[in-house]
Structure 1
């Protein structure tokens, strides 16, 4: 059942950059040796972004409560951006390229008609991770950006999305992830500061606890005998 069958006007994204999409899929046809690696990466590669956020949390343990607040906000920012992308998908109802351009060479299988194309959920996760890590650790953000480009390329290469689906994901995800991270840094920093002195201390800080030194004993002036 298509969007049109349910009363929703289906949007044909091929009118925007169908020629570019065909260029990608023709390249995929000419590099069949790369088809399987790209098909595996396009889904499992999302784990890289989770690992980078974990690394960000681990290093934030030595950088204070604000850094830890940003580290803990990162996955929340990514989930928020992804949820927003899913809402946009239902509003735009852009049909997948496999339905608008069925004669193109496709590596990925065609999803259900209700699984719309714009924006790309995978690319949203990637772009949101880049944005969230940008506030925490620019080196990790740069690494995430490289993988995000590969992720976006793979989504078009396998025929799952048009190029504008990927670019639109970045435009949507970046500001959402930044705003959510900044808001949570401001609101969560005092709470993290308090929790850092309790049972959660090992998860929130790598600084050693300050031991209370016993008071020095007064020197005895009496005869020890």
Structure 2
């Protein structure tokens, strides 16, 4: 079933205009760069927030890296051949078919995308409307250009997302404690990285009794 769907998608890809194929080819890599930019923006916006918020922002790229490592370990164990080499009668992939030994299952791009989408959403809930469509389009683009089966990208998305959630939840508390320590540090670099945290409201001045003000 996955092979049939792969053939349908790649046949459709070859019927699309050249500019659309180029966009798909670029997006399969450019999406990773955009996630990187969002990691930086998420960290910057969390600097004046509570320690837990900054911990989530810092853990987002680390959780994504963990999702990639899990995916790569599984890929190296299963060793599924790429469909652009294994499926007879398939249209030529729009990008160069990865060499033998660069296995297909699961899709590392999709694992990274799934992990990044969910990890960013955990740190910045309102951005989920952007990150999840980005991840889905990145995963689809890997099938569209002909280098992955549909089950490769579906598994990659889920695997990356689950790995990121577990990683972030496990390390949120100790990372928050580290942020608090950095914010109390005298090191300029530590203070800059951790940010000022939430502003503490000024305590109102205590009014003196009237009899003390009368000379």
* Offset, 1:195: 0.4
Query: For residues 126 and 141 of structure 2, what CA distance do their matches in structure 1 show?
Result: 23
**Structure in which a larger fraction of residues adopt helix:** 2
Match of 2:73 among 87, 111, 132: 87
2:110 is the alignment partner of 1:120:
no
Give me the CA root mean square deviation: 1.6
Q: Residue 100 and residue 64 in structure 1: after superposition, are their counterparts in 2 closer, same or farther (change >3 A)?
A: same
Q: Aligned residue for 1:78? A: 64
SS at match of 2:117: helix
Q: Aligned residue for 1:25? A: 10
| TM-score, normalisation: structure 1 | 0.82
Q: Equivalences for 1:72-221 in 2 at 5 Å?
A: 72-105=58-91, 106-198=93-185, 199=188, 200-207=190-197
SS at match of 1:174: helix
Query: For residues 158 and 97 of structure 2, what CA distance do their matches in structure 1 show?
Result: 25
Query: For residues 128 and 193 of structure 1, what CA distance do their matches in structure 2 show?
Result: 26
Cα deviation, 1:85-140, whole Å, max 9, x if unaligned, reads: 01101111110001111532210111111000011111111100112122211122
**What 5-or-longer segments of structure 2 have no aligned partner?**
201-215
SS at match of 1:160: coil
Following TM superposition, the consecutive aligned residue runs of length 4 or more in structure 1 with deviations greater than 6 angstroms are none
2:62 is the alignment partner of 1:66:
no
Cα deviation, 1:43-88, whole Å, max 9, x if unaligned, reads: 1221011111111111111221011111111111111110110110
2:24 is the alignment partner of 1:38:
yes
SS at match of 1:165: helix
Aligned residue pairs: how many?
195
Cα deviation, 1:126-178, whole Å, max 9, x if unaligned, reads: 10011212221112232111111110111010001111111101221111101
SS at match of 1:95: coil
Query: For residues 155 and 138 of structure 2, what CA distance do their matches in structure 1 show?
Result: 14
* Offset, 1:190: 1.1
Maintained 8 Å contact 2:28/2:138: yes
Maintained 8 Å contact 1:129/1:141: no
| TM-score, normalisation: structure 2 | 0.85
Query: For residues 201 and 139 of structure 1, what CA distance do their matches in structure 2 show?
Result: 27
